[in-house]
Amino acid sequence: MSVTTQWIDIQAGDGAFGAYLALPHGGTGPGIVLLQEIFGVNEHIRGVAEQYAADGYVVLVPDLFWRSGARIELAYDEASWKTAYALMQAADTALVLSDIALTVATLRALPALDGKVAALGFCFGGRLCYQTAAAGLVDAAVAYYGGGIQNHLALAEHISVPLMLHFGGRDAHISAAAVSSIAAAFEANEEVEIHVYPQAEHGFNCSHRASYRQRSAAEAHGNSLLFLAENL
């Protein structure tokens, strides 16, 4: 199933930033705002956008580090990790969330959109996905190994849309205690699903990383597709 892609520009108050748009075969469908890892809108993230477009979604991926440099793309070697971490530290969360809100609004205005809009994010983007859902900007959200969600549990009471969270059981960056605290915060919320993949490490969905685990990635993708189909 073919998809078409292009970069578009979105105007913010302090400049314009790029967003990678992937359209499904047929050109229309429900929407996904895809939120990057700390490595930028790189080959992996563009591939994820195209994967979900092949699944029938209109996917828009904002360049969240544009204030530090347009369309920064990083790999997963040690030097790139250091650069990526510095970019994350330099990013102003309030401005990034404002950019995400603009991206959601842009997606909702596209003629290609036919349905609701979800946020879907990985790591840094997973935490932003959770915050976006708490702000009520989207109709559903899916977060993969969202680093730092456990530090923002005061937002849990503001989650009123369906939310799916994926974690790796062997994630060295997100402890089992952190996942337990997140699960406890949502114990009474039937709209929240939490999946833990026992053998998976951090970044298990990314085939460009040594931590990639095909089975866990396939299970998580299947769970996400079912969730999105039910809620969009």
Q: Catalytic residue at 202?
A: yes
Contact 182, 150 (CB under 8 A): yes
In this structure, what are the phi and psi dihedrals at residue 107, rounded to the nearest 5 degrees?
-65, -45
CA-CA distance, 124 to 147, in Å (whole number)?
6
Q: Active site residue: 55, 123, 129, 206, which one?
A: 123
List of residues 6+ apart from 173 with CB closer than 8 A: 145, 147, 202
Q: Catalytic residue at 206?
A: no
**Helix (H/G/I), strand (E/B), else coil: 48:** helix
CA-CA distance, 43 to 47, in Å (whole number)?
6
Q: Active site residue: 63, 99, 139, 171, which one?
A: 171
Q: Catalytic residue at 171?
A: yes
Q: Active site residue: 55, 99, 129, 202, which one?
A: 202
Active site residues: 123, 171, 202
